[in-house]
Protein backbone atom coordinates (compact mmCIF):
# COMPACT_ATOMS: atom_id res chain seq x y z
CA UNK A 1 0.00 0.00 0.00
CA UNK A 2 2.60 2.55 1.09
CA UNK A 3 5.43 3.98 -0.94
CA UNK A 4 7.32 5.85 1.78
CA UNK A 5 10.35 3.99 3.01
CA UNK A 6 11.83 4.37 6.48
CA UNK A 7 14.21 2.05 8.26
CA UNK A 8 13.82 3.03 11.90
CA UNK A 9 11.16 5.20 13.58
CA UNK A 10 11.23 6.63 17.10
CA UNK A 11 7.79 7.20 18.67
CA UNK A 12 7.60 9.29 21.85
CA UNK A 13 4.49 9.21 24.09
CA UNK A 14 3.96 11.11 27.32
CA UNK A 15 2.55 8.28 29.40
CA UNK A 16 2.46 4.49 29.52
CA UNK A 17 -1.19 4.03 28.41
CA UNK A 18 -0.39 5.95 25.22
CA UNK A 19 2.75 3.86 24.70
CA UNK A 20 0.73 0.66 25.14
CA UNK A 21 -1.88 1.82 22.59
CA UNK A 22 0.83 2.63 20.04
CA UNK A 23 2.51 -0.75 20.60
CA UNK A 24 -0.80 -2.60 20.13
CA UNK A 25 -1.33 -0.76 16.86
CA UNK A 26 2.17 -1.53 15.63
CA UNK A 27 1.65 -5.24 16.24
CA UNK A 28 5.34 -5.99 16.77
CA UNK A 29 6.64 -4.11 13.72
CA UNK A 30 10.39 -4.10 14.38
CA UNK A 31 11.02 -0.80 12.57
CA UNK A 32 9.52 1.11 15.48
CA UNK A 33 10.82 1.92 18.95
CA UNK A 34 8.31 3.48 21.37
CA UNK A 35 9.68 5.41 24.33
CA UNK A 36 8.34 7.61 27.10
CA UNK A 37 8.71 11.37 26.80
CA UNK A 38 6.92 12.22 30.08
CA UNK A 39 4.48 15.12 30.27
CA UNK A 40 5.41 18.58 29.00
CA UNK A 41 7.75 19.98 26.36
CA UNK A 42 10.90 20.13 28.51
CA UNK A 43 10.83 16.44 29.52
CA UNK A 44 9.77 15.50 26.01
CA UNK A 45 12.72 17.33 24.44
CA UNK A 46 15.21 15.90 26.95
CA UNK A 47 13.97 12.31 26.63
CA UNK A 48 13.84 12.51 22.84
CA UNK A 49 17.38 13.89 22.75
CA UNK A 50 18.56 10.99 24.93
CA UNK A 51 16.93 8.46 22.59
CA UNK A 52 18.39 10.12 19.49
CA UNK A 53 21.86 10.14 21.04
CA UNK A 54 21.95 6.34 21.20
CA UNK A 55 19.82 5.28 18.24
CA UNK A 56 19.87 5.88 14.51
CA UNK A 57 16.39 7.00 13.40
CA UNK A 58 15.07 8.48 10.18
CA UNK A 59 11.73 9.66 11.58
CA UNK A 60 10.54 10.83 15.01
CA UNK A 61 6.84 10.90 15.97
CA UNK A 62 5.28 12.59 18.99
CA UNK A 63 2.09 10.66 19.71
CA UNK A 64 -0.67 10.90 22.28
CA UNK A 65 -4.11 12.02 23.24
CA UNK A 66 -4.91 15.70 22.96
CA UNK A 67 -7.46 18.44 22.98
CA UNK A 68 -9.27 19.26 19.74
CA UNK A 69 -10.37 22.71 18.58
CA UNK A 70 -14.12 22.21 18.27
CA UNK A 71 -14.63 23.48 14.73
CA UNK A 72 -11.75 21.41 13.37
CA UNK A 73 -11.26 18.15 15.30
CA UNK A 74 -13.95 16.32 17.26
CA UNK A 75 -13.52 13.80 20.06
CA UNK A 76 -12.33 10.44 18.73
CA UNK A 77 -10.82 11.95 15.59
CA UNK A 78 -7.12 12.07 14.73
CA UNK A 79 -5.01 15.12 13.95
CA UNK A 80 -1.73 14.91 12.04
CA UNK A 81 0.38 17.99 12.57
CA UNK A 82 1.26 20.24 9.67
CA UNK A 83 3.42 22.15 12.13
CA UNK A 84 4.35 21.68 15.77
CA UNK A 85 3.87 25.10 17.41
CA UNK A 86 4.95 26.27 20.87
CA UNK A 87 1.82 28.35 21.30
CA UNK A 88 2.73 30.01 24.60
CA UNK A 89 6.42 30.69 23.87
CA UNK A 90 6.74 34.45 23.75
CA UNK A 91 5.77 37.52 25.74
CA UNK A 92 2.56 39.16 26.85
CA UNK A 93 2.08 42.84 26.16
CA UNK A 94 -0.69 45.40 26.51
CA UNK A 95 -1.31 44.87 22.78
CA UNK A 96 -1.47 41.08 23.11
CA UNK A 97 0.77 38.04 22.78
CA UNK A 98 4.14 38.41 21.01
CA UNK A 99 5.65 35.17 19.69
CA UNK A 100 9.37 34.38 19.89
CA UNK A 101 9.42 34.73 16.09
CA UNK A 102 8.27 38.35 16.41
CA UNK A 103 10.65 38.93 19.32
CA UNK A 104 13.53 37.72 17.16
CA UNK A 105 14.52 34.78 19.36
CA UNK A 106 14.21 31.88 16.93
CA UNK A 107 10.96 30.21 15.98
CA UNK A 108 8.03 28.65 17.82
CA UNK A 109 7.08 26.66 14.70
CA UNK A 110 8.62 23.46 13.36
CA UNK A 111 7.18 22.05 10.12
CA UNK A 112 6.14 18.40 10.12
CA UNK A 113 7.12 15.93 7.41
CA UNK A 114 4.30 16.89 5.04
CA UNK A 115 4.52 13.87 2.75
CA UNK A 116 4.13 11.36 5.57
CA UNK A 117 1.44 13.42 7.35
CA UNK A 118 -0.59 13.65 4.13
CA UNK A 119 -0.22 9.95 3.27
CA UNK A 120 -1.04 8.86 6.80
CA UNK A 121 -4.14 11.09 6.87
CA UNK A 122 -5.30 9.77 3.49
CA UNK A 123 -4.85 6.17 4.68
CA UNK A 124 -6.76 6.88 7.91
CA UNK A 125 -9.66 8.37 5.97
CA UNK A 126 -9.64 5.35 3.66
CA UNK A 127 -9.80 3.12 6.75
CA UNK A 128 -12.93 4.94 7.93
CA UNK A 129 -11.30 7.10 10.63
CA UNK A 130 -12.00 10.80 11.09
CA UNK A 131 -8.70 12.55 10.49
CA UNK A 132 -7.24 15.85 9.35
CA UNK A 133 -3.92 17.62 8.93
CA UNK A 134 -3.44 20.94 10.72
CA UNK A 135 -1.36 22.94 13.18
CA UNK A 136 -0.89 21.23 16.55
CA UNK A 137 -0.17 23.52 19.47
CA UNK A 138 2.14 22.64 22.34
CA UNK A 139 1.26 24.31 25.64
CA UNK A 140 2.68 24.10 29.16
CA UNK A 141 -0.74 24.66 30.71
CA UNK A 142 -3.69 22.82 29.20
CA UNK A 143 -6.32 25.29 28.07
CA UNK A 144 -9.23 25.50 30.51
CA UNK A 145 -11.50 28.34 29.41
CA UNK A 146 -13.42 29.45 26.34
CA UNK A 147 -11.54 32.76 26.34
CA UNK A 148 -8.13 31.05 26.24
CA UNK A 149 -9.31 28.66 23.52
CA UNK A 150 -10.49 31.59 21.39
CA UNK A 151 -7.23 33.46 21.95
CA UNK A 152 -5.21 30.45 20.79
CA UNK A 153 -7.43 29.90 17.76
CA UNK A 154 -6.99 33.56 16.84
CA UNK A 155 -3.22 33.35 17.35
CA UNK A 156 -2.76 30.25 15.17
CA UNK A 157 -4.81 30.16 11.97
CA UNK A 158 -6.45 26.75 11.53
CA UNK A 159 -5.36 25.46 14.96
CA UNK A 160 -6.53 21.85 15.06
CA UNK A 161 -5.29 20.31 18.30
CA UNK A 162 -3.39 20.93 21.50
CA UNK A 163 -0.97 18.78 23.47
CA UNK A 164 1.98 19.28 25.77
CA UNK A 165 4.93 17.52 24.09
CA UNK A 166 5.04 17.91 20.30
CA UNK A 167 7.23 20.99 20.06
CA UNK A 168 9.71 19.49 22.54
CA UNK A 169 9.99 16.23 20.61
CA UNK A 170 10.31 18.13 17.32
CA UNK A 171 13.00 20.43 18.75
CA UNK A 172 15.19 17.47 19.67
CA UNK A 173 14.60 15.90 16.24
CA UNK A 174 15.44 19.17 14.47
CA UNK A 175 18.78 19.41 16.29
CA UNK A 176 19.67 15.99 14.80
CA UNK A 177 18.25 16.83 11.35
CA UNK A 178 15.66 14.06 11.67
CA UNK A 179 12.16 14.70 10.23
CA UNK A 180 9.38 14.87 12.82
CA UNK A 181 5.64 14.36 12.98
CA UNK A 182 2.97 14.66 15.64
CA UNK A 183 -0.31 12.81 15.96
CA UNK A 184 -3.03 13.60 18.49
CA UNK A 185 -6.01 11.37 19.14
CA UNK A 186 -8.66 13.76 20.42
CA UNK A 187 -9.90 12.93 23.93
CA UNK A 188 -11.46 16.30 24.82
CA UNK A 189 -12.37 19.67 23.44
CA UNK A 190 -9.98 22.59 23.92
CA UNK A 191 -11.97 24.91 26.16
CA UNK A 192 -13.65 25.03 29.57
CA UNK A 193 -12.18 22.35 31.81
CA UNK A 194 -14.66 19.45 32.06
CA UNK A 195 -12.73 16.38 33.17
CA UNK A 196 -15.89 14.21 33.14
CA UNK A 197 -16.26 14.83 29.39
CA UNK A 198 -12.82 13.47 28.50
CA UNK A 199 -13.05 10.31 26.40
CA UNK A 200 -9.63 8.79 26.98
CA UNK A 201 -10.44 5.11 26.15
CA UNK A 202 -11.96 6.17 22.79
CA UNK A 203 -8.94 8.34 22.03
CA UNK A 204 -6.54 5.52 22.89
CA UNK A 205 -8.46 3.22 20.54
CA UNK A 206 -8.11 5.78 17.74
CA UNK A 207 -4.39 6.08 18.51
CA UNK A 208 -4.00 2.29 18.27
CA UNK A 209 -5.81 2.24 14.93
CA UNK A 210 -3.65 5.10 13.64
CA UNK A 211 -0.45 3.14 14.23
CA UNK A 212 -1.80 -0.03 12.67
CA UNK A 213 -2.52 2.05 9.56
CA UNK A 214 0.94 3.66 9.70
CA UNK A 215 2.65 0.27 9.35
CA UNK A 216 1.00 0.00 5.92
CA UNK A 217 1.77 3.60 4.93
CA UNK A 218 5.49 3.12 5.63
CA UNK A 219 6.17 0.20 3.36
O1 LIG B 1 -7.39 16.35 34.78
C2 LIG B 1 -7.31 17.38 34.11
O3 LIG B 1 -8.14 18.29 34.16
C4 LIG B 1 -6.22 17.53 33.16
C5 LIG B 1 -6.00 18.78 32.60
C6 LIG B 1 -4.98 18.95 31.72
C7 LIG B 1 -4.20 17.91 31.33
C8 LIG B 1 -4.46 16.69 31.88
C9 LIG B 1 -3.67 15.57 31.44
O10 LIG B 1 -3.66 14.52 32.00
C11 LIG B 1 -2.92 15.83 30.22
C12 LIG B 1 -1.73 15.00 30.14
C13 LIG B 1 -1.45 14.58 28.74
O14 LIG B 1 -2.53 14.60 27.81
C15 LIG B 1 -2.29 15.44 26.71
N16 LIG B 1 -3.50 16.26 26.58
C17 LIG B 1 -4.73 15.75 26.45
N18 LIG B 1 -5.64 16.69 26.30
C19 LIG B 1 -5.00 17.86 26.35
C20 LIG B 1 -5.45 19.20 26.24
O21 LIG B 1 -6.64 19.52 26.06
N22 LIG B 1 -4.50 20.15 26.35
C23 LIG B 1 -3.19 19.84 26.53
N24 LIG B 1 -2.75 18.57 26.62
C25 LIG B 1 -3.64 17.59 26.53
C26 LIG B 1 -1.01 16.17 26.99
O27 LIG B 1 -0.17 16.10 25.87
C28 LIG B 1 -0.36 15.44 28.17
O29 LIG B 1 0.59 14.52 27.77
C30 LIG B 1 -5.44 16.46 32.79
ipTM value: 0.92
* Strands (E) located in the chain: 9-13, 32-36, 59-68, 78-86, 90-91, 98-99, 109-111, 131-138, 161-163, 180-189
Per-residue pLDDT, 219? 80
Q: Is the CB of 134 under 6 A from ligand 1?
A: no
CA distance 155 to 169: 22
CA distance 109 to 87: 9
**What is the pTM (predicted TM-score) of this model?**
0.96
pLDDT band at 71 (very low <50, low <70, confident <90, very high): very high
Q: What is the pLDDT of residues 145-163, one digit of tens each?
A: 999 999 999 999 999 999 9
Q: Is the CB of 165 under 6 A from ligand 1?
A: yes
Per-residue pLDDT, 1? 58
Per-residue pLDDT, 2? 66
Domain 9-217: CATH architecture, name and number where available: 3-Layer(aba) Sandwich (3.40)
66: CA distance to ligand 1 center in Å?
6
Contacts of 148-156 with CB under 8 Å at 24 or more apart are: 149/69, 149/190, 149/191, 151/97, 152/69, 152/87, 152/190, 153/69, 155/87, 155/97, 155/99, 156/85, 156/87
Query: What mean pLDDT is predicted for residues 38-64?
Result: 98
CA distance 110 to 112: 6
Q: What is the pLDDT of residues 22-48, one digit of tens each?
A: 999 999 999 999 999 999 999 999 999
Q: Identify the CA nearest to 19 among candidates 49, 55, 58, 62.
A: 62
Average pLDDT in the chain? 97
120: CA distance to ligand 1 center in Å?
24
Q: What is the pLDDT of residues 5-20, one digit of tens each?
A: 899 999 999 999 999 9
Q: What is the pLDDT of residues 105-119, one digit of tens each?
A: 999 999 999 999 999
Q: Is the CB of 68 under 6 A from ligand 1?
A: no
CA distance 199 to 216: 27
- pLDDT at 75 exceeding the cut of 80: yes
- pLDDT at 54 exceeding the cut of 80: yes
Amino acid sequence: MGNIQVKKVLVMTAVEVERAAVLRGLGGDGRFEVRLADVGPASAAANTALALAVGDYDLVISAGIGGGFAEVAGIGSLVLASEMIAADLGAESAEGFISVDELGFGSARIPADHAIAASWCEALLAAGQRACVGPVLTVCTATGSAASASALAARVKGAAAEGMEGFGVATAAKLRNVPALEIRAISNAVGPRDRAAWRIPEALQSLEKAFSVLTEVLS
